[in-house]
Structures are given as C-alpha cells and as structure tokens.
C-alpha cells in the first residue's frame, strides 16, 4: 500500500514545475522594492553585500524551481545543493555572459573583485565567478526584477 506522500509523488511531470503557483510567485514583479531604494543608496551597497543578498535570492529561486513535482526532502536537498555550489554557479555565469549588458558586466566585474576569502575546497577563480553571479543577482533583484527573471530563465537547472 502506498503512503500519502508516494501517492502525491505519482503523476507529477516537468510541466507541473513551471506552472506551480510557488514558482510563479517567485517570478512576480518586485517594483515596490526597487522603488524604495534610491540610486545613491544602491551605490553605497558593497558588492559583498549584493552577493550576500544574491546568494539568498538564488537559493530561494532554486528551491522553488525544484518544489514541483513533489519530492522527498532528501531529493530536494540533493537537487538544490547541486545547483547552489560554487562550481555550478560559475558555469551558470559563463552561460549568461553572452546575454549580459555592459552595465551588468560591470556588476559582474565588481563582484569578482570583491571575492577575497574562499572555502578551501574551491578554486579561487571558480569562487570569484560564483560570487560574481550572486552579486549580479543581488543587484538585479534590487534594481530590475524583470531583467533578473529573464536571466534566471536562461539558466538551465538540471536534476
């Protein structure tokens, strides 16, 4: 006999993921937030702080992306960790480079230069690229949420 969780997991497909109300909620416009932060206030935020914010936004995006189809907690964890590790973030940044505007490339450069410390297990260049992606995500979250969603949709999250 199947548990209720197993019954919920049956019949879920990849299309369900994109139509999930949770996933769609993440993609909603955040113009109220960007209207609350002035240009001068934004200039005062360090690339490190933008990366800190971008890290949280990116992880939330990944978690919501994998929320559907329903999975066991261990599966969620495995899928999310594979996407938020520095090596994967560096690959995602490389895939986005051809799509970035000059102003976004400047944010990426600032993020790369701000990446000073690093975990022992990660190559410094990979860590710099991952921090650059997080900085870009943090910056766009505060300034141009529509552009952020465009770029996040270019990234191919994989199981």
| List 10, 13, 55, 144, catalytic entry | 55
Q: Dump strand ranges (E) for the chain.
A: none
Q: Distance between alpha carbon 1 and the CA centroid of its chain, in Å? A: 39
Cα 109 to Cα 105: distance, rounded to the nearest angstrom: 6
Q: Distance between alpha carbon 133 and the CA centroid of its chain, in Å? A: 8
102 is catalytic: no
Q: CB–CB of 130/54 below 8 Å?
A: no
The residues assigned a catalytic role are: 55
């Amino acid at each position: 006999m199947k548990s209720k969780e197993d019954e919920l997991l049956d019949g879920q497909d990849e299309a369900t993921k994109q139509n999930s109300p949770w996933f769609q909620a993440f993609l909603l416009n955040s113009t109220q937030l960007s209207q609350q932060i002035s240009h001068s206030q934004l200039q005062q935020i360090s690339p490190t702080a933008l990366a800190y914010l971008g890290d949280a936004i990116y992880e939330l995006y990944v978690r919501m992306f994998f929320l559907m189809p329903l999975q066991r907690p261990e599966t969620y964890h495995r899928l999310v960790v594979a996407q938020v590790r520095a090596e994967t973030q560096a690959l995602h940044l490389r895939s986005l480079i051809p799509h970035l505007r000059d102003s976004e490339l400047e944010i990426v450069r600032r993020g790369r230069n701000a990446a000073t410390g690093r975990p022992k297990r990660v190559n410094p260049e990979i860590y710099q690229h991952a921090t650059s992606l997080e900085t870009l995500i943090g910056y766009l979250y505060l300034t141009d949420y529509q552009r952020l969603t465009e770029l996040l949709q270019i990234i191919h999250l994989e199981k």
